Structure 1
Amino acid sequence: MQEKLERRSFIFTLALVSIAFALMLQPFFIAIFWACAVALIFYPLYVYLCNRFPKWPNLCALLTLILCIVVVVIPVLLVASSFISEVANLYQNVQSGKVNLGAKVEEVRAAFPGINAALERVGMNFDGLKESLLGGLMSIGSLIAKNALALGQNTLNFFVSLGLMLYLTFFLIRDGSSLVDLLIRALPLGDEREKLLLAKFAEVTRATIKGNLVVAVTQGTLGGIIFWVLGLPAPLLWGVVMTVLSLLPAVGAAIIWFPAALYLYATGDMIKATVLMLYGVLVISLVDNILRPILVGRDTKLPDYMVLFSTVGGLMLFGISGFAIGPLLAALFMAFWQIFMREFLGDTGTLSPPQTAQLPNTKANTGSPDREG
């Protein structure tokens, strides 16, 4: 009886200490997540270097981290800084009247007179729609401008978080394998389940960041280049916006380049409009179909509706990092439920349509995991 009471008391205290520790780390959750993600992506390079120089693991980890900084961190900081500058300038021009959004919308209505009739058929008014659209754009611009100002005021906090992320990334790269083994021994979920869930975490994180992000950056870069070639305003700004939108299935970069092409048609610039339309359809839109299967793989892809909702929800809940955290949580949610269905209900089916992600077959291991709590 005494031993049972001591055991329960210890577990209760362990839970309290763990919760307190998690709350203490809560301000750094995003930095910790990105450290794990970057370590996962660059770990194969570390393994390659260790095979070449097995006596210097610290040096191999440091070289891997330096490459990560050069390839990822520095370019992202440069683009983010230019993007914030362009957003602030555009918002100021709109507020000062140098850019008249209302006049541009009126140009579109004059070029496509059938818009009024089409909207009236569905019970909408063009003037009301224009006011709502302009109000929404001004609200978004104001929000971005305020966030840009806040980012400038919190530069020290940002670089502290970045430094902590890179510091943790070094140790995760160097000691990642031993840390995973420790995590498997510590968690009371059963070794086979833990290996499956950790494998799913690694798979989805790599697919989302390495695959989807590369596709999005490629589409955004191509979009920004064509905007620059055609002489359209703020090509860097719209290129970054297209990059973000390309993370969303079913919508993507076409939300930007298609209305831009229609506007060029409306203003009578037929050549530029046709070039942009053809380029968008034949180049930007095809990138997803060509690169995503190569970089992500059809067997690791979540259903498009799940990606859409989890990405949007992740962006709303976690900010820009949500494009990776959202799909990861969705994949873990599906993995947990599929393990539950297989091991506790005896259901060998899948939560996903046949063409989407299939979890590895754990049927052989479901009878008696290494530990059951």
Structure 2
Amino acid sequence: MQEKLERRSFIFSLLLVTLAFALLLKPFFTPIFWACAIALIFFPFYRYLLRHFPKWPNLMALLTLLMCMVLVVIPVLLVASSFVNEMVTLVQKAQTGQIDLSQQVEKVRSAFPGINAFFERFGIDFDQMKERLLGSVMSVGSFLAKNALAVGQNTVNFFMMLGLMLYLTFFLIRDGESLVALLIRAMPLGDEREHLLLAKFAEVTRATIKGNLVVAVTQGTLGGLIFWALGLPAPLLWGVVMSLLSLLPAVGAALIWFPAALYLYATGEIVKASILMVFGVMVISLVDNILRPILVGRDTKLPDYIVLFSTIGGLFMFGISGFAIGPLLAALFIAFWEIFMREFVTPSGIHRNQ
């Protein structure tokens, strides 16, 4: 009796301390998750280097981390910097009147006379929507002007989180196998189940991140290039926006190129509008329809509709990191239920006695 009480007290204390430690690490959830994801993606390269230079694990882990920075981190920072510069320039032109947004909106209305009736069917007043659009642009400009200090503080916070992520990534690459072995030893789920779940975690993380990023970068690059070729303003800005929106399956980049094509039709640029529409449907959208099921759905072994809903739900819950976390949670959910059905339920549907 005393031994049972001590065991239960210890388990309760263990759970309490674990919960407290998890809350302590909660502010660092994003860099920790991305450190795990990057370590999973680049670990095969580290293992390849280690086979040739087994006596220098620290150096091989550092070289792997440097490759990650060259291939991923530095390009993302450069594109993000250019994106912010183009966004600020565009907002400043709108504020100074170099770009008359009100006139552009009126061109669209005059080109599509039925647009008022269309919006009225949904209870939307077109004039009010126009004023809100213009007000939003001005608000963005005011925010950038009045909150420069806050933006600077956020930048410092971003680089601090980036540094923590890279620091942790180094140790996860170097010590990943021993940490996984320790985790399997500590988890009370049974070694076979733990191996299955951890393998599923690695498989889905690699497939989701690599697949979604390949689709997003491809669509954003194609969109930015066609905007540049047609002489549309801020092609880099819109290319990055299309990349971000491409994380949403099914719709994605069309939220940018389709309205842009309609605007070109409205302003009389029929040839450019037709080129953009055909390119969007036949090239940009085709990339999503072909590559995403191959790179994401097939490797994660998830149906397309599960990938769609889990991605959107993940984005709502976790922000930009949700495009990877959402499908990962969905895959683990399915994996747990597969284990349950296999081990605890007979073919007749009767639960087995354990």
TM-score, normalized by length of structure 1?
A: 0.85
Q: Deviations over 1:42-83 (max 9, x none)?
A: 011111112222222222211111100100010111111121
Q: Which has the higher mean CA deviation after the structures are superposed, 61-70 or 106-115?
A: 106-115
State the Cα distance separating 1:138 from its structure 2 match.
Answer: 6.1
Structural mapping, 1:55-134, within 5 Å:
55-120=55-120, 124-131=124-131, 133-134=133-134
Distance 2:143 2:332 in 1: 32
Task: Tell me if the contact between 1:215 and 1:288 (Cα under 8 Å) persists in the aligned partners.
Answer: yes
Aligned-pair distance for 1:188?
0.8
* 2:274 equivalent in structure 1: 274
AA matched with 1:80: A
Q: CA deviation at 1:154?
A: 2.8
Contact 2:95 2:141 in 1 (8 A): no
Residue 227 of structure 1: aligned partner: 227
| Whole-Å separation in 2 of the counterparts to 1:5 and 1:147 | 57
Tell whether the 8 Å contact from 2:302 to 2:331 is kept in structure 1 after alignment: yes
TM superposition shift of 1:129 = 4.3
| Residues 314 and 325, structure 1, Cα contact 8 Å, conserved in 2 | yes
Q: Please give the alpha-carbon distance, in whole angstroms, between the structure 1 residues aligned to 2:123 and 2:163.
A: 54
Give the counterpart letter for 1:54 in structure 2. P
For the Cα contact (< 8 Å) 1:314–1:326, is it kept in 2? yes
Percent identical among aligned pairs is: 76
Q: Distance in 1 between matches of 2:28 and 2:99?
A: 40
- The alpha-carbon deviation at position 92 of structure 1 amounts to 3.4
Mapped contact 1:246–1:253 kept (Cα < 8 A): yes
- Aligned AA (1:47): R
Deviation at 1:297, TM superposition (A): 5.3
2:313–2:322 CA contact under 8 A, matched in 1: yes
Residue aligned with 2:189, SS: coil
1:21 has 2:31 as partner: no
Q: Which residue number in structure 1 is paired with residue 286 of structure 2?
A: 286
SS in 2 for 1:296: helix
CA contact (8 A) 2:91 2:137 kept: no
Q: Any stretches of 5+ residues in structure 2 without a counterpart? A: none
In structure 2, the partner of 1:52 is: 52
The corresponding residue for 1:176 is 176
What is the SS of the residue equivalent to 1:154? Answer: helix
Asked if the contact 1:94/1:101 (under 8 Å) is kept, the reply is yes
Tell me which moved more, 115-124 or 10-19: 115-124
Q: Is the 8 A contact 2:38 2:169 kept in 1?
A: yes
TM-score (norm 2): 0.89
1:160 CA displacement = 2.0
Deviation at residue 87 of structure 1 after TM alignment:
2.2
| CA distance 1:342–1:95, change in 2 (3 Å) | farther
Q: Over aligned residue pairs, what C-alpha RMSD do you find? A: 2.8
1:99 Cα offset (Å): 2.7
* Distance in 1 (alpha carbons) for counterparts of 2:9 and 2:90: 60
Checking the alignment, whether the CA contact within 8 Å between 2:208 and 2:300 is kept in structure 1 is no
Which range moves more in the overlay, 303-312 or 166-175? 303-312
- Map 1:1-373 onto structure 2 (within 5 A): 1-120=1-120, 124-131=124-131, 133-134=133-134, 150-296=150-296, 298-346=298-346
What is the identity, as a one-letter code, of the residue corresponding to 1:181?
A: A
SS of the aligned residue for 1:5 comes to helix
92-101 or 107-116: bigger deviation:
92-101
User: 1 CA distance for matches of 2:217 and 2:348?
Assistant: 38
Shift of 1:187: 0.6
Cα deviation 1:149-193 (Å, max 9, x = unaligned): 644223332222211111111111111111111111101112222
Contact map agreement 2:42 2:68 (CA 8 A) in 1? yes
Shift of 1:140: 7.2
Any idea what the Cα deviations from partners look like across 1:182-233, whole Å, max 9, x if unmatched? 1111011122221121111111111111111111111001111111121111
Matched residues, number: 353
**Secondary structure of the structure 2 residue equivalent to 1:248:** coil
Deviation at 1:126, TM superposition (A): 3.2
Aligned partner of 1:356 in structure 2 is none
CA distance in structure 2 between the aligned counterparts of 1:347 and 1:145, rounded to whole angstroms: 66
Q: For structure 1, list consecutive stretches of 5 or more residues without a partner in the other structure.
A: 350-365
Greater Cα shift, 176-185 or 65-74:
176-185
